[in-house]
Amino acid sequence: MKFFKTPNIDFIGKRYIAFAFSIILIVSSIIAIAVKGPNYGIDFTGGILMQISFDKEIKLDDVRNGLKDAGNLSFELQSIGDEGIIIRVKKTDKSQDEMSQSILSLLQTRFPDNNIVVDRTEYVGPSVGKHLAKQATYAFIFVFLGIIVYVAFRFKSGLWGFTGVLALVHDVFGTFGLMVILGKEIDLTMIAAFLTIAGFSINDTIVLYDRIRENLRLLAKDNFGSIINKSINDVLSRTIITSLTVFSVSMILFFMGGEVIHDFALSMVIGTTLGVYSSVFICAPLTFEWEQKKRDRFKKSLKK
């Protein structure tokens, strides 16, 4: 199955347009993070936990819609049987008693015919503490170093590993920045999406690099830019089919998966798009730029 039989697109010739787009994306993300700041969820901030019971059976979606009337209240719901619900609410400026009383009053107003009993109320700390966040940062750094070493060993070039990791960071950070700009809440589900995006991005890059390495042997007499263009065009149909599959599933989840998985699906849609873009317009062109400048420096040294 192919979308293009014999594509011959000059991706290298359009690299500066792509570089400009990436710079705008990264700078916008940095500004949004610095000025607006990430909207961290209860997993990072902590909050209160309320376990409530209803006399009559109630749907979780009805409770969720009722709590939306509280405005910008960030919460998570968990059903316990037919009448019980656990509500986890993100920490605010209000005290624990004020928050619990506000939620109880809101639900009593929304469901006047259904008696509500608060079984327990307690404070819950952030599940992702400073120590765990620090350990996760170290883990990411070691993963990036591992990718650089692996790609350098497999393709005999540390540069290829570096550009692959650069594209991976570009995709994850770009997606994170757009989520901040859109005001989406950053929780553990969103972190799972970022990790999925990272895996998808590096996989797509490795496939492209493998084709470039193969064409370097088969087309040794051609210039490096032509080889990269041919390699990208060779894997273009495969890249589109693979990414379109993930993109389609993410779009279905976005529109039909419900509110709980909405932000996860949105980040996957953005990350999938950036993953394909970075493999084609970031990794290979950056490799070309470096190799081209290295050859220019070598020619200048010979003239001297």
Residue pLDDT, tens place only, 22-77:
999 999 999 999 998 888 888 788 888 888 888 888 888 888 888 876 666 778 88
Name the token pair of 129: 């503490």
Name the token pair of 116: 């509500």
The answer to whether 184 and 195 are in contact (CB under 8 A) is: no
Q: In the chain, which segments carry CATH 1.20.1640.10? A: 12-39+129-303
The pLDDT, as a whole number, for residue 192 is 85
As beta bridge partners, residue 125 has: none
Alpha-carbon gap, residue 220 to 223, rounded angstroms = 8
pTM of the model: 0.84
Whats the size of the chain, residue-wise? Answer: 304
Question: Domain 47-124: which topology?
Answer: Alpha-Beta Plaits (3.30.70)
In what helix (H) or strand (E) does residue 19 lie, and over which residues does it extend?
Answer: helix 15-35
More confident position, 289 or 158 = 289
**Hey, which CATH number is domain 12-39+129-303, 3.40.50.620, 1.10.10.60, 1.20.272.10, 1.20.1640.10?**
1.20.1640.10
More confident position, 204 or 20 = 20
Q: In the chain, which segments carry CATH 3.30.70.3400? A: 47-124
Percent helix, strand and coil across the chain, each to the nearest 5: 70, 10, 20
Closest to 198 (Cα-Cα) out of 288, 279, 129, 265? 279
Residue 2: pLDDT over 60: no
pLDDT digits (tens, 9 = 90+) for 232-284: 988 888 888 888 888 999 999 999 887 778 899 999 999 999 988 988 888 88
The pLDDT, as a whole number, for residue 297 is 65
The pLDDT, as a whole number, for residue 268 is 93
Beginning with the edge strand found earlier in the chain, give each strand of the sheet holding 75-80 in spatial order. 75-80, 84-90, 47-54, 116-124
The pLDDT, as a whole number, for residue 300 is 62
Collapsing DSSP states into helix, strand and coil, what is residue 120?
strand
pLDDT digits (tens, 9 = 90+) for 191-220: 888 888 888 888 888 888 888 888 888 887
Closest to 107 (Cα-Cα) out of 60, 147, 154? 60
Alpha-carbon gap, residue 6 to 248, rounded angstroms = 25
More confident position, 92 or 198 = 198
The pLDDT, as a whole number, for residue 1 is 52
Closest to 209 (Cα-Cα) out of 167, 160, 256, 162? 160
Closest to 167 (Cα-Cα) out of 223, 208, 136, 226? 208
User: Integer distance in angstroms from the first to the last C-alpha of the chain?
Assistant: 53
The pLDDT, as a whole number, for residue 155 is 73
Q: Which residue has the tokens 């493999």?
A: 279
Alpha-carbon gap, residue 110 to 68, rounded angstroms = 11
